[in-house]
Amino acid sequence: MDIRSNHNAFAFDVTHRLVLSIALPMTLGFMTTPLLGLTNTAVVGRMGNAEALAGLAIGAMLFDLILGSFNFLRASTTGLTAQAYGRRDQHEQQAVFSRAMISALGCGLVLLCLSPLLMAAGLRLMGAEGAIAQATSTYFSIRMLAAPAALANYAILGFVLGRGQGNIGLLLQAVINGINILLSIYLGLTLDLGVAGVAWGTMAGETVGALAGLAIVLSGFGKAARPAWAEIFSRHRLAELFALNRDILIRTFALIGAFTIMTRIGTSFGAVTLAANAVVMNFFLLAGYYLDGLANAAEQIIGRAIGAHYRPAFDRGLKLTILWSFGLAAVGSAFFFLAGPWLISVLTTSPEVRQAAETYLPWAAVTGLTGALAFLMDGVFIGATWSVDMRNRMLISFAGYLVMLAVFVPLFGNHGLWLAMNAFLLFRGFFLATLVKRRADQTFRAAQ
């Protein structure tokens, strides 16, 4: 279908192929992450030291929690880059990247300086002591050396996604995780460095990935479009970036809080129920890979359409990403319903946990469907840089989630917990979707 207009020099076609050219590579890239986690666990697990394995798990969780809070660097960079790309503004694309890299490296250095305090707080929070605390400290201290590189990778990934270069995103993810896996095995097992070897392998992967990504991005820049320092540090542009990052950060904290509360309440139901929840939660995480990939496609296409001031591309991009999101979510849910019992038997050998997990399987199996619109709307609002709406609607959804927990957990126990989580996903998608047409009308009207 050709939706180009003779009246807009920046018009572009939105096709199924364009959507999948961004979504598929990023889905594959995201799927290398659990492989990395499994490899690191296997390397340390072969040491036969339970304390080392527990320390690795705690250290990795703390690092991921801290670094995950800075995902706004990736999201804001994607939205702003996509809009500059849509209006073919090479000058502003370079400026956006420069601001993102400066922000990432600055935040990374601050984290590095604060790492002793963060580690002490994390150990106290998790109640780690003795050999477990020592293993956690070893892993965390080494891996935190890669904080600047890890955050730089967020900025780099955001930039290439903003330009619709999903294949480069996949390549960089493969480089980061591939080096990490190979070096973790070599250093951890062959050289018998254990937890320290795994941490050094991770640090090396992040660093090499950042250098490779920087080289790829800079090689595509032209000298004629290079922005002056005064433009990079423009007060207006920095204020815009700060506001965008602030709103996305608040949204991220609310999201982390929702899943943390779910885990905390699940703990009160006993070890078997908690383990069952952890098992079936993997089905939602798996659905999240392709839903995130389609959200990335929405970010780029929506941002590009707004940058180009071209409403037909916005409307068709929204239509196609919704079609693919719900289509794949339906297939995924059907698969989990049918194959769920077998998958559960692979993930756990405990008869009690298996039985409990199968009881709660239907709730987890439908999370792809209940969450499809939420993932997609996040992508739309990030690409459009409508961050205030995204922040406010997330807070409203979180409040609704708390009400659902207060009402249904006492009535239905763990079933009520899963009901509240599915409602939270529905709230997020619905509350944002009701705003899309109005915000799009305002945005494109202002551009005319």
pLDDT tens-digit map of 405-428: 999 999 999 999 999 999 999 999
* Average pLDDT of the segment spanning 374-379: 96
Question: Is 70 exceeded by the pLDDT of residue 4?
Answer: no
In this structure, what DSSP letter does residue 227 have?
P
Please say if the pLDDT value at position 287 is more than 80: yes
**Domain range summary for the chain, segments of one domain joined by +:** 18-233, 243-448
How high is the pLDDT of residue 244? 93
Tens-place pLDDT, residues 291-339? 999 999 999 999 999 999 999 999 999 999 999 999 999 999 999 999 9
The pTM assigned to this predicted structure is 0.90
Greater confidence, 302 or 222?
302
* Predicted local distance difference test score (pLDDT) of residue 208: 97
pLDDT at 49: 72
C-alpha distance from residue 52 to each of 57, 66, 178 (Å):
9, 21, 23
pLDDT at 131: 84
Residue 448: the pLDDT is 61
Give the side-chain half-sphere CA count within 13 A for 151. Answer: 26
| Separation CA 214–CA 135 (nearest Å) | 32
Are the C-beta atoms of residues 206 and 65 closer than 8 Å to each other?
no
Assess contact for 51 and 130: CB atoms under 8 A: yes
Q: Residue 154 and residue 68: Cα distance in Å, rounded?
A: 10
Residue labelled with tokens 């477990």: 132
For position 83, what pLDDT does the model report? 96
Span 341-346, mean pLDDT? 88
For residues 30 and 154, what is the distance between their CA atoms, to the nearest angstrom?
A: 13
**CA 335 to CA 323: how far, in whole Å?**
18
CA nearest 251: which of 416, 432, 114, 30? Answer: 432
How does residue 2 score in pLDDT terms, banded at 50, 70 and 90? Answer: very low
Q: What is the DSSP letter of 222?
A: -
The residues near 56 (Cβ < 8 Å, ≥ 6 apart) are 40, 41, 44, 135, 136, 139, 195, 198
